[in-house]
Amino acid sequence: MASSIWNLNETVGTLSRIYDDRDRSASSGSQKRMEDKLGDILWYVSNIATCMGLSLDGVAQANLDKCDRRWGKKTHAPIFFDAEFGPEEQFPRLMILKASETKKGLAKLSQKGAGSDWHQLGARVTDNSHSDDGYRFHDVLHLAYVAVLGWSPVMRALMNRKRKSSPRTDEVEDGARAINLEEALTALVYEHARESEFFATEKYVPFELLKLIERLTRGLEVNQATYDLWNSAVLQGYHAWREVMKHHGGFLKCDMVARKLVFAETEAELA
């Protein structure tokens, strides 16, 4: 088997060189060479699988299953991690919130309650930075996690929605470690976003970043979320964040059923 692996590596290297050096007109000669090398690769892979007692069909199916778990199907139902808890420990499935800031650059996030009442979530914050980089509005990013993923220990704490009726859930999923991890994850993604104009023109978050997010959240309930959902949460979050920065505030609709975080300059636009 060792020789098969060595030959496989050598053949893949040859195939790569053929591809890099190929005539852009895709001549019949280069096409034939690539066909031959691809055939060799399939033989080596089959030989290695046989030596390991593996079925190529089984390997292929396992890979398809992994891709489905990671990327998922865009039509699957929303995830409600708090569905089995009482209303007082659930995220409201539809929320209207308001982001605003003072002349001194202090930002706050408020949630609309019954009637026209607004309840401030947490304390007013600054960027905590030497420069005006907008991080004072980063709670908008946490809201996107709620909308798309149904998850945010940070927002559970701010909204007083921790699942205290289950001590284990309260400790592991809603506790300090999970909160700190979410804040660290958000800061990490923010640094990547800064390098790409805060995803203003991007359709996809870098895959390496998505894989890092998956590793960081292993062991938590949100690890059920696919790469596709995380991609959507990050991009929606930064779209809303950019609009809030542009207008120095605004209104947000967090719709967990539709998996959408929507920005509007006025509350009436969200109706």
Tens digit of each residue's pLDDT (9 = 90 or more) over 197-219: 999 999 999 999 999 999 999 99
Token pair 């704490």 is found at 157
Which alpha helices (H) appear in the chain, and where do they start and end? 2-21, 28-51, 56-71, 139-144, 153-158, 167-172, 176-194, 207-216, 227-247
CA–CA distance, 259 with 261 (Å, rounded to integer): 7
Residues with Cβ within 8 Å of 116's Cβ and at least 6 positions away in sequence, in order, are: none
Following DSSP, what letter does each residue of 142-175 receive, concatenated? HHHIIIIIS--HHHHHHTT---TTSHHHHHHTSS
Confidence of residue 25 (pLDDT cuts 50, 70, 90): very low
For 32-62, write each residue's pLDDT tens digit: 777 777 777 777 777 777 788 888 788 778 7
Query: Is residue 4 a contact partner of residue 47, using CB atoms and an 8 Å limit?
Result: yes
Q: In the chain, what are the domain boundaries?
A: 2-54, 87-270
Q: What is the token pair recorded at 145?
A: 């996690």
Confidence of residue 24 (pLDDT cuts 50, 70, 90): very low
Q: Is 192 exposed, middle or buried (0-12, 13-18, 19+ CB in 10 A)?
A: middle
Place of tokens 């991009």: 235
Q: What is the mean pLDDT of the chain?
A: 87
Structure token pair of residue 239: 């779209």
Of residues 144 and 203, more confidently modeled? 144
The pTM of the full predicted model, rounded to 2 decimals, is: 0.78
* 77 has pLDDT over 90: no
